[in-house]
Homo-oligomer: A and B are copies of this chain.
């Protein structure tokens, strides 16, 4: 099972590809896509679309998990994040991947055990769960890996429910 996690953003969009085989979960790729704040927003969204499509095409994940955008924080930033998440969803669906959304609380709970975990704890747990020699940098990349791990944590439960029916 190959899963790509995406932490959507216009200036910095994190991505992380994780493979699970039996009990072993390993990191395949992780990084961030940056777009230039001085460029027009439509151009930046298009660049994001192309880069994400290329990444999905290169790794061919069966599932793409995207962090859900919440509006409580900052309406101005949320707009860019919402637009970026729309572009990411369209790119993933266009590549034929199944797309899933998880809230920040779901992601934190799945990776660190509780919904109030901070970025540093998430980074540490990502390092531990994937047996990495050092924390993943930058944090947006670790966050994206956490989204992928959240999907893997939710998936077996869904399968078990199906199997029990």
| Contact with A90, one of B49, B85, B93 (Cβ below 8 angstroms) | B49
Q: Does A99 contact B (CB under 8 A)?
A: yes
Specify the chain B residue showing the minimal Cβ separation from A66: B42
Cα distance A84–B90 in the bound complex, in angstroms: 10
Contacts of A124 in B (CB 8 A): none
Contact of A86 among B43, B82, B92, B94 (CB under 8 A): B82
Chain B positions within 8 Å of A43 at CB level: 93
Q: How far is the CA of A83 from the CA of B78 in the complex (A)?
A: 11
Q: A71-B78, A78-B71 are contacts. A46–B90 as well, Cβ < 8 Å? A: yes
Q: Are B42 and A99 in contact (CB under 8 A)?
A: yes
Interface size class of A (residues with CB under 8 A): 20 to 34
Flag A17-51 by CB within 8 Å of B: 1 or 0 each.
00000000000000000000000111101101110
Measured between C-beta atoms, what is the minimum distance from A65 to chain B in Å? Answer: 11
Contacts of A40 in B (CB 8 A): 93, 99
Q: Give the docked Cα–Cα distance between A85 and B89 (Å).
A: 13
A157 contacts which chain B residues (CB < 8 A)? none
Minimum CB–CB distance for A53 against chain B, Å = 11
Q: Is A87 an interface residue (CB 8 A)?
A: yes
In the complex, what residues of B have CB within 8 A of residue A142's CB?
none
A69 interface residue (CB < 8 Å to B): yes
Q: How far does the Cβ of A158 sit from chain B's closest Cβ, in whole Å?
A: 15
Q: How far is the CA of A99 from the CA of B82 in the complex (A)?
A: 18
Report which A residues bind B (CB closer than 8 A): 40-43, 45-46, 48-50, 69, 71, 75, 78-79, 82-87, 89-94, 99
